[in-house]
Structure 1
């Protein structure tokens, strides 16, 4: 009887904790996550434990880390809430209710959500306006089977919880531009997401795969970008940072790549860097064929607390450097607290200094021990949460 009484007391104690977690708003989200035993990275811990996140979607904008900083320019009293109700697409005269109308026509701070699960087949690349958030949480949204996303001469953009795949090259043509006016757009290669002269861009919790060219390109002077919590899979060329070897403006490029899941069946470019700097931290690499991280034109990289699992067949070496360049000695590729499994290896730059991210206070985050990478990347990719369940 004494044992039964003790069990009853314990169960009441547990119930009291659960009630406090759900109904006490003063309890910090970090404490909530610890109480219910969730293992989350710093970004997810900022908003996911909140059971009322659907009523407070804009909280997400305060959760970003890395070079993008905080996305507070995307929220405020003048925020426009826009809901996609129509999966159809007209690249020149988009109808209200379509994704293109919200992302390209409406100007100002726009927070886009979706009425229901959708498969959207874009007729031409979607050019996203500055200060736009595309938020797919709570529904299952696919952008697939034709044109995909482009961020062209725009700033302060969030793309969150979207499945983007089977993207195809596009011939030149007319399309609604990011300023709400029709423009002429040249040949597009078939990337899932391409950044062109863009800044302060946050790509978080998306699932990207099987596209004709690459999954994510950061090009032509784009900078202050954070790529986090995404799942990249089934792809030859995954991520390109820097337009081409001759585009020296990309020397100013700064990109944070954190909490992502690479694989299965990724070949190369996770990422490939030209000219600029990348901080690659706490990512999970499930093999590669040619290489995981590479580049040319004297790029700088700090690889920190990533888990590299080499493929059973193919190259075990993580890195690749393009040969035949006079500036080969200017390479700065450093591995700090990384872990290597199945024979993986990392050729580092000898001597010199490890380049630091030099984050500001609002950009900074703690890189955790590599032993936690599997758990911190477990939720990578677009969420499967419904309108009623937690994410």
Structure 2
């Protein structure tokens, strides 16, 4: 995607990149050195994008995630299977070698999936992704669009990076290859771009999601330890749902990190909408909304930290929305810490108390940057444009 607005330099914060630039640019031309040194990146991107040889070291990415997903080191190792998609076709029951479904559902174990060339993939049925699978679209232009899309059902340790998912449509019940490589009966599926059901340790990064019939990203039915980072969400009514429904109390254990994402244009609501669980929403850019940006019900808790909320020119300026259940008042813990508000935006937060979380472990922790730098931190959200001769 095109770069978003860029603000003043933030070199004072990016000390690590200076070291990395020195390390990775020893044998790079002076022109390339200048290009690298001129880039400002968030902590995830600093971890790998400064390396002009990233194509030779794709698995470096697994060490770069932060937030509740933690490091994705279970996705790499000596037993890693390298799989390249060479065929854009799809067969939901008997996928052929070279197709995305064969790599994501049929092959079991640690699988790192890349793509031979630009592809438009029209899935016949939802793609059920196996545990320990990475879908890595860097360096090519990958679209999963115009029918069924992605599902993670009772699986763990999955990375989705660098793909475009859009124009997803509802699917009738039918048979499909499950994530264990066996044929299963799958019920009715709504038209979501990516749906997580009872999933854990999932990282969705640098993808572009838009214009789907239902939502863009659902995290439901006890899913937890999720990081959603560097994505571009646009052209959508219902964007991101965290929590299955008001009655599914197991979602109280849900923990989700939402960082460095760009919401807009034309996102109406649910960025995210959270039930029961907890979300840490930090350093995201919100380019307007229609109903609301962040909402919740069933006693959710949320820490909104150093985001930039730019209210729509007309309509609702309030960022948050709260739903009462069964006519009885509901309780929420919505806290705004260091957020920036433009164009009249406002945030009604809970009075008194404080959100003690996120309580990250060392491998999950990251520094939240001042909101005045959010435009820079999110300027390359979504699928990256990676040239064949340079860094992303």
Q: Is this a same-fold pair by TM over 0.5?
A: yes
How large is the Cα RMSD of the aligned pairs? 1.8
Which segments of 5 or more consecutive residues in structure 2 lack a partner in the other structure? 1-19
Cα deviation for residue 323 of structure 1 reads 2.5
1:249 is paired with a residue of what secondary structure?
Answer: helix
In the alignment, the residues of structure 2 paired with residue 114 and residue 286 of structure 1 have an alpha-carbon distance, to the nearest angstrom, of: 32
Cα deviation for residue 80 of structure 1 reads 0.1
Report the CA distance shift for 1:390/1:327 in structure 2 as closer, same or farther (over 3 A).
Answer: farther
Cα deviation for residue 388 of structure 1 reads 3.0
Corresponding residue of 1:59: 60
Of structures 1 and 2, the one with the larger relative CO (CA 8 A, separation 6+) is 2
Corresponding residue of 2:173: 172
Which segments of 5 or more consecutive residues in structure 1 lack a partner in the other structure? 1-16, 26-31
Corresponding residue of 2:229: 228
In the alignment, the residues of structure 2 paired with residue 121 and residue 102 of structure 1 have an alpha-carbon distance, to the nearest angstrom, of: 16
Cα deviation for residue 35 of structure 1 reads 7.2
In the alignment, the residues of structure 2 paired with residue 363 and residue 18 of structure 1 have an alpha-carbon distance, to the nearest angstrom, of: 24
Cα deviation for residue 324 of structure 1 reads 4.2
TM-score normalised by L of structure 1: 0.92
Which structure shows the bigger proportion of residues in helix conformation?
Answer: 1
Cα deviation for residue 20 of structure 1 reads 7.1
Corresponding residue of 2:357: 356
Encode CA deviations 1:151-202: one digit per residue, 9 max, x unaligned.
0010000000000000000000000000010100000001000000000000
In the alignment, the residues of structure 2 paired with residue 19 and residue 324 of structure 1 have an alpha-carbon distance, to the nearest angstrom, of: 56
Cα deviation for residue 356 of structure 1 reads 1.9
TM-score normalised by L of structure 2: 0.91
Cα deviation for residue 33 of structure 1 reads 9.6
In the alignment, the residues of structure 2 paired with residue 155 and residue 33 of structure 1 have an alpha-carbon distance, to the nearest angstrom, of: 40
Corresponding residue of 2:203: 202
In the alignment, the residues of structure 1 paired with residue 336 and residue 124 of structure 2 have an alpha-carbon distance, to the nearest angstrom, of: 42
In the alignment, the residues of structure 2 paired with residue 382 and residue 20 of structure 1 have an alpha-carbon distance, to the nearest angstrom, of: 26
Corresponding residue of 2:272: 271
Does structure 2 retain, via aligned residues, the 8 Å contact 1:300–1:355? no
What pairs with 1:313-324 in structure 2 (closer than 5 Å)?
313-324=314-325
Encode CA deviations 1:329-349: one digit per residue, 9 max, x unaligned.
531000000000000000000
Does structure 1 retain, via aligned residues, the 8 Å contact 2:83–2:111? yes
Cα deviation for residue 326 of structure 1 reads 7.0
Q: Is 1:85 aligned to 2:86, yes or no?
A: yes
Report the CA distance shift for 1:19/1:129 in structure 2 as closer, same or farther (over 3 A).
Answer: closer
Cα deviation for residue 351 of structure 1 reads 0.8
Structure showing greater radius of gyration is 1
Corresponding residue of 1:376: 377
Report the CA distance shift for 1:297/1:82 in structure 2 as closer, same or farther (over 3 A).
Answer: same
Does structure 2 retain, via aligned residues, the 8 Å contact 1:301–1:355? no
Q: Runs of 4 or more off by more than 6 Å in structure 1?
A: 17-20, 32-35
Corresponding residue of 2:46: 45
What pairs with 1:1-391 in structure 2 (closer than 5 Å)?
21-23=24-26, 36-325=37-326, 328=329, 330-391=331-392
Report the CA distance shift for 1:77/1:301 in structure 2 as closer, same or farther (over 3 A).
Answer: same
In the alignment, the residues of structure 2 paired with residue 299 and residue 147 of structure 1 have an alpha-carbon distance, to the nearest angstrom, of: 31
In the alignment, the residues of structure 2 paired with residue 268 and residue 241 of structure 1 have an alpha-carbon distance, to the nearest angstrom, of: 13
In the alignment, the residues of structure 2 paired with residue 297 and residue 328 of structure 1 have an alpha-carbon distance, to the nearest angstrom, of: 10
In the alignment, the residues of structure 2 paired with residue 44 and residue 79 of structure 1 have an alpha-carbon distance, to the nearest angstrom, of: 23
Corresponding residue of 1:10: none
Cα deviation for residue 114 of structure 1 reads 0.1
